[in-house]
Structure 1
Amino acid sequence: MTVVAAARRQPPGEQEQYVRLACQEDAELLREVSDALKWDERMGDFLLDHAVPAGELPTLRPPAVTGTAIGPYRLLQRIGEGGMAEVWLAEQTTPLHRRVAVKLIKEGMDSKAMIARFESERQALALMDHPAIARVFDAGTTPEDRPYFVMEYVCGLPITEYCDRNRLNIRDRLELFTQVCGGVQHAHQKAIIHRDLKPSNVLVTLQDDKPVPKIIDFGVAKAMAHRLTDKTMFTELGVLVGTLEYMSPEQTDLTGNIDTRTDVYSLGLILYELLVGALPFEAKERRRAGIEEILRRIREDDPLRPSARASALGDASAPAARNRKTDPNTLKRQLEGDLDWIVLKALEKDRTRRYGSPSEFADEIGRHLRHEPVLASPPSVFYRTRKFVRRHRFGVSVAAGLLALLVGFAVSMTVEAQRIARERDRANREAEVSRRVKEFMTGLFQISNPTEARGNTITAREILDRGAKQIDTELRGQPQTEAELMDTMGRVYSSLGLYSQAAGLLERAVLTRKRVLGPDHADTLGSMDAVAYVYWHQERFDEAEKLYREALQILRRTVGPDRPESIEALNNLGRMMVQQFRSDAIPVLSEALERARRVLGPDHRVTVQSTKNLAMAYSTDGRHKEAETLFREGLTANRRMLGPDHPETAVAIGNLAMVLMNSKQYAEAEKLYREALELDTRLLGPDHLFTLTALNGLGWANLEQHHFEEAGRNLHEALSKERRVLGENNQYTAGTMENLADLAALLGKREEALADMEWAIDHGYRRYDEMVNDENLKSLRRDPRYQALLEKARQAAGKSSQN
């Protein structure tokens, strides 16, 4: 700020008058300048790069310039400048040719204190040898007696910027962060505390195409067990050391009483920013509060949970989530639980409650990544109460002297304790249910009788069947656990296409949850949705629609029609209607998309899903141009939000290819199907439903362009895998067989075409209208057997629509 700089140059008696004249009527500027000058008065000239003690005035010498040679190092470009030193990119000429970074004490800063600090950093770096810490190669003094040292040149970005630019997901960010913890742990093992850890001091570079963090700038590092230099250094008592935004509470008391847990706190703030995209507080707001208030808040204000902070970002939530390859709601869910408590444990004001070392911090993150129980947990009621009293000593002491207030306080605390107890009991019940479910499921995979394994041929289906039978006998009297297991196993049966087994378990889960939790509980609604999905795939459409509408009505009443869960319920209803080829699906899905765009914005997961579903409805209704527009919009959103290498992006590519096929844009469709097939195979495996759908689609595109040999190869491969993975009585298997019937007809193989078509109808092919208009089958139209197949298909389609 130029006003502050000019005011500092005024004689002490004239400072105030100068500031008032310079700021004129700008009250905000006047307050900020006054705060800055008060800070100067308290801290001396530390923010002006430390005071120079009397008798130690430096000798001014020419500054370094580009091209200057310092021994075997030629300065190329100044790439950084701090309070006491500047960093240059340099070229080493002998004995090696390489680029290095040269840190050189600044002209005019070569006092004894500054030289001692500079050599302290040089010695700290020299002590360490770790992949996550920039290495020191050489050191010396220039002909002008300016100390320098040469270190590894790190061509990288601050860790937060690197992660955002490369859109690293939460897991990748955590794995990169644990490497940083390893570097800080190494420094601690060498008895060095960094004291200024922040994103700009952790650069990420690429080595062998893998991101590697490098910790830099040990300029304010502190030695714990030895002196880093034999030169005199001031103790800096009464001087703030570090960066305010990343400073630990103990750094603000100015006593120098810090230990390795100070760095753990700063690491916690870096992790917070990596996960959320923001610090737990608004930095600008804190800066405006004045230095005394800033220090008080660092010592006393508890940070928001990362999940809560992510929810409170407002307009910034969508880009923050996009940088993590997800959407705001999913990001919040990813942070809730383990990551919330891990970060908050690192950010405890009381350092005895933090992780004892960076390695403990990294180990905790490792447990989370391996889905193991973590040590961090919400603070106890006693601890929260003690902190409240410490923050409000005066108010509590006054209240203690007034009986009426004391009684009121006691009552309010009792009510709060009861509320917390209820929450605790609920959490304990949920934890107990989770434990019992885990024990039950683990028990299913433990075969007590060796003969029962039959040579390791026991199947997942047999394990499921055995578990379904044991629910009633082993969990009697535990309705909540029973319902949880029935819901879980029912969903597994459903994912395997075993809908009759799934229906029985999920129906019972709904009844039990309605009785125990109530009809409006989120778990009850979740089970209702799962049952409706099963009914839909059993072609029990009336029952499915009734459940979908009931769940939608409850959600609209309890949380409102514009909540994401209500819009999702509307989507589920419309998607089922599309599968029935109902034109009234379009207004339902149009409403869902309108609400999602208005309330959630274009980049929300539910909005993208609504776009895809409405596009599917348009395609089924023959409105291919409108479908193509929406499918392209959905694909663009998926690529922007999730990146090109995501299963949902592959699905969106396949959807667009399908609608292009319907509008006879075969060449572009073929290209898209190839892209979807490559993605699905790499991301999901060769036998996944999405992979098989893309393979069948590619065969269809080959067929329509009369690339018959490739079409036959792709379609036969798809059919073989679908029979094995999905079974024969499956609409996808039947659809592939219908494509093979088309191929046989085009090749003049009448008998084969009729046989394939009949098989497809008998095993779930229900698209009578498409069969009537299929130009590939026109050579069969005069054959009475084909006419009989048409009638059979019409009856099957009619029966399906009636159901």
Structure 2
Amino acid sequence: MAGQLTDRYVEAKRIAMVAMDVDASARDALIDGHVGEDAELAREVRWMLEAIERTHTATLPFAPAAEPPDLSGQQTQATAPRNYRILRLLGEGGMGMVYLAERCNEGFSQQVALKFLHAANEGSPILHERFSQERRLLARLEHPGIARLLDGGVMDSGRPFLAMEYVEGLRIDEWCDAHSLSLNERLVLFLKVCDAVEFAHRNLVIHRDIKPANILVTADGMPKLLDFGIARIIEEGGQVLATATAAHALTLAYASPEQIEQQPLTTGADVYSLGVVLYQLIAGRRPYQHLVTPHLLSNAIVGGQVLAPSRTLREAPADRRRPWRSIPADIDAIVLKALRRQVSQRYASVGEFAEDLRFYLARRPVRARRGRQWYRLRRFAQRNRWPLAAAGMVLAAALAGLTASLLALAQTRAAQRLAEQRQHDLERMVDFQQSMLQSVDIDAMGHALTHDERALVLARFDGAAGKTIDRTQLEQAFAGIAASGPAREALDAYVVSHALARLDKDFADAPLLAADLRQSLARVLLTIGSYAHAATELRQVVRVRQERLSDGDAALVSARVDLGEALYRDGQLEQAAAVYGNALPAVKKLPQADPMRVAALSGHARVLSAQGHLKQALDQQQTLYAGLAAHLPATDEGLLRLRRDRVETLTQLGKRDRARAELEQLVPLYQQTFGIEHPETLATTLTLASLLYSQDNEYERSLALAQDVAAIRERRLGSDHPLTLQARGLAASNEVRLALDPTTMAQVHERLAALIRAYRRVQGADNRHTLDAMTDMVRLLSKQDRYPEAIAMERQIVAGRTRTLGADHFSTLYARGSLASLLCGNGQYAEASAEGERVLAALRRQFGDDHPMTLATYDLIGRIETGAGRWPLAREAHARALEGRARTLGDTDAHTIESASRLYAVLLKLHDDASAKHVFATYLQPVIAMDPGSLNAGMRSVREEALAAVGPQATSSLR
């Protein structure tokens, strides 16, 4: 008898496992076919299926056994809230029961989903709090993809209730199967779910229980996210706030590893659950669905070994397979990235997850599979023994492929029947080939190009008779040549320029197609730093499209935005402003979050800021950000770039505390979203380094950050790329500030002179970065007391700034202030005073009395008057600088102490001991008492200036 029972159990389990692999609608027929007339065996199979299903979807902790469900709703009718009439039971879970009810109030009726706690749970304070938490969370979520909260409260009996929007629909997996949705249609539907979850995350709510049963699809195809019963609020650091109700509640089959391990949760938990839902939608079953006990299932989830959806589909029985025979590798990669064991290895946000799915639907490369192309290119360069020929072959092949793709694209436009599909395919190929040219490792290519040539020259030199040059000197000469320069010139001259020269001839009958190719190649020029050349080609693209397209055409707008960026990078600000201005009428008609609109408006604001129209630029940036923040995820690349632009504008306006507070958050966000070596991450890190340099005199930290960025850019872009030079320039600025002894100054002088030569060669004598480097050289010369040389160079800087920016631009005024300071140091007080007063008047007119530059100019005038011996005027100027700096920066700021030291010395000279004593006690004594070992280089210098101003005799006389 026992053997028969065991055999029956084994047979029932076998049939149940087979039935688990078919849709619920087909299970009854399959069971009947296996059990025949054995009704007892059929009951055993169905009981086992229900047990397995509960195991995989159970919500923990399990609720106490409740009374049998009231299908009619009569038992709760008498206790329903006022104005509600219960119709029938919709369902129940571990925490409560949900009824369909009718809300009748003041002449209207409305069907709602009425939710109560189980009677057995009403005595639980934890579940009461969780019920209240759900009401609070739903009240803050207004989104078409989230079931709305309509009412809620406590009945006279003390029993809490929620009245929610009644969603009449099917579970998302059942709806997809019932409507026979294709793979792409399922992805489009799933993206709507992602939009709802992302909205909840933006409102600092994490769902924690995303599963098909909580996603219903209405008859019109709109998914609704339900049941925020175990949702939680996200704190500022990104984790779920701990609460008294944070019991271990989860749906096991859809739970993330960190939920099972009861670790602190982030939005990554919802990303994982969405990954499970997507897996089920496309593969027909969940990961680990074959595991039948909670213990095995938990171990598998925590272990993180997920079978790819495509493999699950291939191994499924024939009657369980989807209409599609395979799942693309891109989808495999996306799903597996969402299901990574470690949160840090998943998508950083639901928005990033959805963006990758949109990339797939648009037939663009997905982020989940990035990195391989770069790896192959770098390995090729390292293996190549004859680099010149091989590199030429690779680049020529890429260019040939690009040309062939665009020719084929033109042919498909003529073929109406396959035009749309073919165009998408070819545009994807063009994008890939353009990105391959853009991602060429310039430095690696340059070293490969020069390595064998250097070896041949040295070998011939060693074999030649009558050598007159020392081999060591020859090696040093080779080492001094930047390898990236020849590589960039070769790529520009022999590949890109060669292709551009053939365009007019080869595409004479297709000018718009030629413009497409020209713009693609111009973007390559932008990437390698050939800004002027890129601008020349983009002007031609704009001209061709203007003649043949309307002003609002997307292709024309795209060319204008690219041209504006090229001109901005090349320092041609007036022309850049004009180009962006021509694009604005068309882009303002685009949707608010359209990438082209964001790029055009933020680019225009960036140019305004560079021109010195700071308040106008900031207003435009603030307005644009306010409109985008609600529609785009925080990690959107355009939104992040806009935030960085706003930081730079705030810095120039003197609002440096606000700028630094935002920047300290922005750098980690860039690193988390794009990686440490991404170009935008590097640019943001350099912005922080610049702020540290100019705000708090944190020269050591600023130098370290700038050197890190310079090293990465030199390795990836080459030593002469404008962006590399920009990072080296900021590093040199810090080195000038930190250089104290003659030996160090001489070394810094040599590096700075090489940098200025490189800037002049790459970007021209009047480029703003060239002039910035010259400004650092002026500062170094003045530290070496080489005033005539410094004054001569500063006059060149003033002339260059005036030519390119105008007489009243902030940078021009800064240069004039520097000239006044140098004249003062050289004893030319009359000219110095005239320059200082002109600068002060312009700064007060444009920025007001409290701008840091205005206060610095008051301090400068005080030093000029001190040098000239006009002590009352010196006291007036230094007192104004000190008062403003103390009020805006604080009593212990380095700039405040600097002004206090100078005013103190003047007061002693005027024998105003009472005022001197006040300045000493308020500002100087606290900084003198500081431990020098705890101060950065800037503050140590300020402390030393304070000590020098006070002096031992003056200190004793004031005590």
What is the TM-score with the length of structure 2 in the denominator? 0.40
More helix by share: 2
TM-score, with structure 1 as normaliser: 0.47
